Amino acid sequence: MITDRAGPSVLVAALMVTILGACGSASEATPTPPAPGEVVWPAPDHPLALTVKAGLKPEPKESLTFHVHAHLDVLVDGRPVLVPAGIGVNITDPAVKRGQWNGATTYGHIAGCAQPCISPLHTHDESGVIHTESAANVPDRLGQFFTEWDVVLSDACIGMYCQPATTIAVYVDGKRYSGKVVDIPLTDRKEIALVIGAPPDQIPSSFPSWAPV
């Protein structure tokens, strides 16, 4: 006798498919980047001069022979500071293309400028991702990036914040760092957190999954 009533085993199987499908959707959700931090130090308006000051050579386009990404968090009393887009990039050059990420302008995708327009060490967006796109297989250092940002960085000071008046702690991949901060190599997927004043509830410890690379 044929019946159209589903048996218990069919109902259980259908329920399991529904549950597993829901779990799969949750795990595959795209991570959401946080809201932009506070603008304390904007991108400087003379990026290529600062590139040279950092000991690097401006180029007419990005080179992907050595291409790595580190991530920088700067936190003041637990609040994030914006790492600007366009550090190390002459954003006024017409060959520098603009885009959008997280509601803000990005700079890059350079086919070739008529003259040097980008440092091998730079930012494309406001994510805090520091790009090294270089012909030389040598990691850049955090001190070079801060020179390009035109922000003071030393073991005593970050910008206008200096010890002992303000506490400063440096973390690399979630662990307290005790070496010279300017010498931290910007190797691939490294997470650097500069914590000024009161620390956040949680120290960033890994390269963020939402970061555009």
Give percent above pLDDT 70 in the chain: 86
Give pTM, 2 decimals: 0.85
State the average pLDDT over residues 42-65: 97
**pLDDT at 32 (0 to 100):** 80
What pLDDT is stored for residue 28 in this prediction?
Answer: 52
Query: What confidence tens digit (pLDDT) does each residue in 147-159 have?
Result: 999 999 999 999 9
Q: How large a percentage of the chain has pLDDT more than 90? A: 82
The predicted structure's pLDDT at residue 204: 98
What separation in angstroms does the CA of 112 have from each of 134, 168, 213? 15, 40, 20
| Coil, helix or strand at residue 199 | coil
pLDDT band at 85 (very low <50, low <70, confident <90, very high): very high
Model confidence at 1: pLDDT above 90: no
pLDDT digit string, tens, across residues 5-39 = 444 444 444 434 444 444 444 445 667 888 889 99
Spatial distance between the Cα atoms of 130 and 161, rounded to a whole number of angstroms: 22
Average pLDDT over residues 97-118: 97
Over range 174-180, report the average pLDDT: 97
Q: Please report which helix (H) or strand (E) contains residue 170, including its range.
A: strand 168-172
107's tokens: 């700079």
Q: Which long-range contacts (CB under 8 A, 24 or more apart) does 46-51 make?
A: 47/86, 47/87, 47/88, 47/89, 47/90, 47/91, 47/119, 47/148, 48/90, 48/116, 48/117, 48/119, 50/88, 50/147, 50/148, 50/149, 50/150, 51/88, 51/119, 51/121, 51/148
Q: Is the pLDDT confidence value at 103 over 60?
A: yes
What pLDDT was estimated at residue 34?
80
What is the average pLDDT value for the chain, to the nearest integer? Answer: 90
Distance CA 41, CA 31 (A): 27
pLDDT of residue 194: 99
pLDDT score, position 24: 44
**CA atoms within a 13 Å half-sphere pointing along the CA-CB vector of 63:** 14
pLDDT at position 19 is 41
